[in-house]
Chains A and B, each alone.
Chain A
Amino acid sequence: MSAKRKVAVTVNGRPHQGEAEPRMLLVDYIRDVIGLKGVRYGCDTSNCGSCTVVMDGRSAKSCTFLAVQADGRELTTIEGLAAEGRLHPLQAAFQEAHALQCGFCTSGMVMSAHALLARNPDPSRDEIRRGIIGNLCRCTGYLPVVEAVEAAARARKAGGEGGTP
């Protein structure tokens, strides 16, 4: 076992200090050291996207980063979207559109959608599909997810509001 290294991140707006062996995956660090269990993984090859978080404003597969690579960065996880018991508009759009069933891929799917809308607030259906190409789902067939993201984009345009990534 290698000596642990210090890791300092900002998670959902709050600073966190911890340590990790160099080989520890970021997803395991978020779950077991930071203690946020909303992120998970469903493959070993960076395909499924269930581990997706937002890192320094961009979507990132936390299974493909080492914890030590996150040192000094800002992370947003699924727990960082809802504010004080109210769902974020994107999360509410997912519920309205029935864009989740078993929920296992949902944390990653929502974070990918969140990152997509941050860089492209008015995506076409095709751009949405492309934006979530890295998130595999076996329950929904994806069309309800596309509809949820469209609805969230429309609501944001109409209401002028939106979360920060």
Chain B
Amino acid sequence: MSSAERRTLVGQPVVRKEDPDILRGEARYTFDVELPEMLHVAVYRSPAAHARIRRVDLSRALELPGVVAGLTGEQVRQLGYVNPLSPFPFQSRDPFRRGNPTIKFFDHYCLAWDKVRFVGEPVAAVAAVDRYVAEDALDLVEVDLEPLPPVVDSAAAMEPQAERLYEDWDDNVMLTFRVSGGDVDAAFRQADVVVREEIHSGRFTGTPIETRAVAASYDAGVKTLSVWTTTQIGHAIGTLIENTIALPDLKVHVMFRRIGGGYGQKWAFYPEEILLPLLSILTHRPVKWVETRREHMTGTIHAREQTHHIEAAVRRDGAILGVKDRIVANIGAAYPTGGLASIVTTGMFVPGAYRIENYQGEVLGVVTNKTPYGAHRGFGKSEACFVIERLVDRIAARLDMEPVEVRRRNFIPPDAFPYRSVTGPRYDSGRYREALDKALELLDYDHWRKEQAELAARGRYVGIGTCLVIEPSSSTRMGSYNAGYYSVRMRMDPNGRVYVFPSGSDDGQGHATSISQLVGDELQVSFHDVMVVEGDSLACPYGSGSYSSRFSVVGTTAVTLAARTLREKATRIASVMLRHPPGGLEFSGGGVRVEGRPDRAVSLSEIARTAYFYPFQLPEGMDPGLEVLYHFRDPNIEFEADERGRVAMFSSFPYDAEAAVVEVEPDTGLLKIRKFVSVHDCGNMLNPLIVRGQHVGALAHGFGGALYEELPYTEDGQPMAASFKDYFLPTAMEIPELVLGHMETPNPFTPGGFKGAGETGAVGPPAVLANAVEDALRPLGVAVRRLPLTPQYLWSLIREARGADPGAAGQGDAACPTR
């Protein structure tokens, strides 16, 4: 590379090339797929949480004019070529090949056939000429269910006499995982103080504004099944479809070109991805299903519901000597979603940002009659962060220390990186103390401590909370659909345009812009001459999709190194064309020239034409064309789990230090955020505009989960949040003004130095706001142990605390608080 090259794109806040189409209303989603003779499909879903299926009768539905076909679970099993849903993401019963985790499986089909196990589970489907008729037909579907006792609470599900969801299992525990390191017993013997807590992370999810949709068209003439689906993992879905629909010679083509938000909710294998192809095969017509929001609230994964029984062995100076955590996750029914991987991840990241060298974690995934648990932004580390950050504050309260001091005492110091965590992961780089100090400075911590004291004297409850979020990104796990590499194909065509075929999915992260920045700089081509084609399982090389914020780490690296490979070949071709050694050539203005000699240049198009149309002029042994298939293996990964369950599944460790000032109104429990600071370090930034957008969007998800969003169930297993009228995702009024800082501690393992950027923000708000609330209510001795921090919950904490003190002004009855 010479000094004439100008690298003007990477690192700059380039506005996105994706936007004009979207802004003009020309973007097309799976929602918009239209094919001749297409039928619309509606799905009958279980109204009961747990029941035996006695009868499913579609005869009246099929008589309705406009209804063309229907399908039941029993009919699916009788087809003869349909297997149970193939497991995901682990595709073996012993993924780490150590007997740990242990996992039980069940043969679910795309429609329930023996029992229904959650409200919203697909039971039958009808296909009709339009969506209105299809929905009319649902009213005519007759299903007889014999109710069974619902199992809703995970503790109840683990009782010996509990009703079993899966009668072949000897209990309701689907997954058990144990991970340990160091000598936790010794740590507890040496402790000056032991702090024990029971902390709950509540059930919520991410609800992209695009609900799921699947369209399918089977062309029997060429045995090709075309499937459009709102998925983050199109290649995996293609393989899963092949595993499940066992038709000989079947070619499967999955299209996932534009997704309206994923956040992990579209990282799963859903039954509709088999149901729709089957309906197309049976009707010989294209078919489409678009999820209603009501369907989405029960038929698309939930997340976050875990209870931790955690103990910390602590020295009197605040050092955490060891931690034991027993984690029970309420995972709903046993469908192939990202949930198992998510809860295993929690077990590994309870130590968080702290140098905890003795640890024992046990994770139990308990099935219940709820919607299946899957991936949501933060993926298990969010639950871990909430718990460890709460625990640190509880330790501080116990030792009468400032929470900030306990954090500083225990942070992994900068010179310890790369740091091997007690549970196996290798944290790449970080400056945690510096980030927290910066957040406190931006918050104006000293000023707010003074304010807090003054306001407390006037009977107001103002509190300050802090947290340090680590958000391991770019995950990989052995024997799964995310096996630690990123593939990309890159082609310079005869016109010098560069086509890039990444193996992820674009759910709004701006891949086309990011890739164009990277390729534009590497090959010195115009940003607008880079053509990104993403989301086509046949055009794009086999890969694992988009999840875990991995594109920044492995996607960008694969793109960069593929471009350098093309560049190297183009240079050698140019060398022949210009009759000049390759060493003295430079890329400039869409071509290659002898250094400093614009009169001795060839354009990229001329180089490409030589490669494609005059291959006999190429150097000896060089293949024609200018196209490369490149695989980049995720660095900093340890694939093999050891006998203690330790394995390094994440390669990069972005983080963010958050600090917040809140005020709690004691009579109503209303929380007001007075100030919110986040100092985010995601390594180098490829595009600061996109990074900021990802971080603010993630924080919004965090605020939702911290304050408003919950998915409660009745004792009968009926979901109480079944629409946006009862599920309170934030509007523009709920997101506070944010004070954002950033640091850049590069990823030491990749040329670009980028780390994942899109999830960190979703993890922190529950922890920092819970810490701030507890700080605000410290005069009342309140402990915050669950989410969300609704007015009802805070009010009940205040009431309990006041009720325990007969002298305190109360709200009415002074009932004894229960613990």
Which residue of A21, A110, A139 is within 8 Å of B23 (Cβ)?
Answer: A110
> In whole angstroms, how far apart are the Cα atoms of A138 and B15 in the complex?
20
Q: Which residues on B sit within 8 Å (CB–CB) of A21?
A: 132
Inter-chain contacts of B509 with A (CB < 8 A): 101
0/1 string, B722-760, CB within 8 A of A gives 1: 011100011111010110000000000000000000000
Measured CB to CB, the nearest residue on chain A to B510 is: A101
Taken together as a complex, chains A and B put the C-alpha atoms of A37 and B509 apart, in Å, by 23
Bits for B693-712, please: 1 = Cβ < 8 Å to A, else 0.
Answer: 11011111100000000000
**Do residues B689 and A101 form an inter-chain contact, with CB atoms below 8 A?**
no
A139, B690: Cα distance in complex, Å: 11
With a CB–CB cut-off of 8 A, which chain A residues contact B693?
98, 101, 139-141, 144
Residues of B with C-beta under 8 A to A44: 292-294, 723
Q: Are A103 and B27 in contact (CB under 8 A)?
A: yes
Distance in Å: Cβ of A114 to nearest Cβ of chain B? 12
Q: Per a CB cutoff under 8 Å, which of B132, B292, B696 touches A143?
A: B696
Bound complex: CA of A96 vs CA of B131, how far in Å? Answer: 38
Number of A positions contacting B (CB below 8 A): 55
Asked whether A100 lies within 8 Å of B19 as measured between CB atoms, the reply is: yes
| A47–B209 CB distance below 8 A | no
A78 interface residue, CB < 8 Å from B? yes
A130 touches B293 (CB 8 A): no
Judge if A50 is at the interface, Cβ distance under 8 Å.
yes
* B697/A139 in contact, CB under 8 A: yes
Q: A47-B725, A142-B735 are in contact. Are A103 and B22 (CB under 8 A)?
A: yes
The listed residue with most A CB atoms (<10 A of its CB), out of B26, B261, B509, B730, is: B261
- B371 sits at the interface (CB 8 A): no
Are B723 and A43 touching (Cβ within 8 A)? yes
Q: Which residues of B contact A1 (CB under 8 A)?
A: 65
B579: Cβ under 8 A from any A Cβ = no
Complex contacts, A36 vs chain B, CB 8 Å:
25
On whether the beta carbons of B20 and A98 are closer than 8 Å, the reply is no
Q: Are B292 and A105 in contact, CB atoms less than 8 angstroms apart?
A: no
User: In this assembly, does A39 line the interface, its C-beta being within 8 Å of a C-beta of chain B?
Assistant: yes
Segment of A3-11, A54-62, A87-95, A157-165 engaged in the interface with chain B: A87-95
B732 & A104 in contact (Cβ 8 Å cutoff) = no
Contact of B733 among A39, A91, A129 (CB under 8 A): A129
* B298 interfacial contact with A, CB 8 Å: no
- In the bound complex, residues from chain A placing their C-beta under 8 Å from that of B699 are 141
Tell me which residues from 2 to 46 in chain A have a Cβ below 8 Å from any Cβ of chain B: 21, 23-24, 28, 36-40, 42-45
Q: For chain B residues 23-70, which have a beta carbon within 8 Å of chain A?
A: 23-29, 31-32, 65
**B132 cross-chain contacts in A, Cβ below 8 A:** 21, 23-24
Q: State whether A98 and B689 are in contact (beta carbons under 8 Å apart), knowing that A38-B25, A142-B700 are contacts in the complex.
A: yes
Q: Are B696 and A106 in contact (CB under 8 A)?
A: no
User: What residues on A are CB-neighbors of B258 within 8 Å?
Assistant: 102-103
A139 vs B701: C-alpha distance in the bound complex, in angstroms? 9
Q: Do the beta carbons of A40 and B29 come within 8 Å of each other?
A: yes
Report Cα–Cα, A134/B701, bound state, in Å: 17
Closest B-chain residue to A48, C-beta based? B209
Nearest residue in A to B507 (C-beta to C-beta)? A102
Report the separation of the CA atoms of residues A110 and B701 in the bound assembly, to the nearest whole angstrom: 22
> A152 to B31, alpha carbons, bound, how many Å?
30
Verify B294–A138 contact, CB threshold 8 A.
no
Which residues on the B side are within 8 Å of A115 (C-beta)?
none
Does B16 interact with chain A (Cβ within 8 Å)?
A: yes
A2 to B180 CA separation, bound complex (whole angstroms): 67
**B734: nearest residue on chain A (CB-CB)?**
A142
Structural contact, B731 and A136, CB atoms closer than 8 A: yes
In the complex, what's the smallest C-beta–C-beta distance from B726 to chain A, in angstroms? 9
Establish whether residues B209 and A79, one from each chain, have CB atoms under 8 Å apart when the complex forms. no
C-alpha gap A70/B510 in the complex (Å)? 37
Check if A146 is an interface residue, CB within 8 A of chain B. Answer: yes
Chain B nearest CB from A13 CB (Å) reads 15
Chain A 117-154 residues near chain B, CB threshold 8 A: 128-130, 132-146
Which B residues lie within 8 Å of A81 (CB)? 24
With a CB–CB cut-off of 8 A, which chain B residues contact A139? 209, 261, 508, 693, 697
A39: B residues at CB distance < 8 A: 25
B206 interface hit (Cβ, 8 Å): yes
Q: What is the CB-to-nearest-CB distance from A37 to chain B, in angstroms, rounded to a whole number? A: 5
CB distance from B85 to the nearest CB of A (A): 26
A107, CB-defined interface residue at 8 Å: yes
**Nearest neighbor of A80 in chain B, beta-carbon distance:** B25
Given contacts A42-B209, A104-B209, A143-B696, are A91 and B24 in contact (CB under 8 A)?
yes
26 A-B residue pairs with Cβ-Cβ distance under 8 Å, sorted by A, are A37-B25, A37-B32, A38-B24, A38-B25, A38-B26, A45-B723, A47-B724, A82-B23, A91-B20, A98-B15, A98-B16, A100-B23, A101-B261, A101-B694, A102-B208, A102-B210, A104-B208, A130-B732, A136-B731, A137-B209, A138-B207, A138-B697, A139-B261, A141-B693, A141-B697, A142-B732
In order of increasing CB-CB distance, the 3 nearest A-B pairs are A38-B25, A102-B508, A104-B260
Residue numbers of B with Cβ under 8 A of A are 15-16, 18-20, 22-29, 31-32, 65, 131-132, 206-211, 258-261, 263, 292-294, 507-510, 689-690, 692-694, 696-701, 723-725, 729-733, 735, 737-738
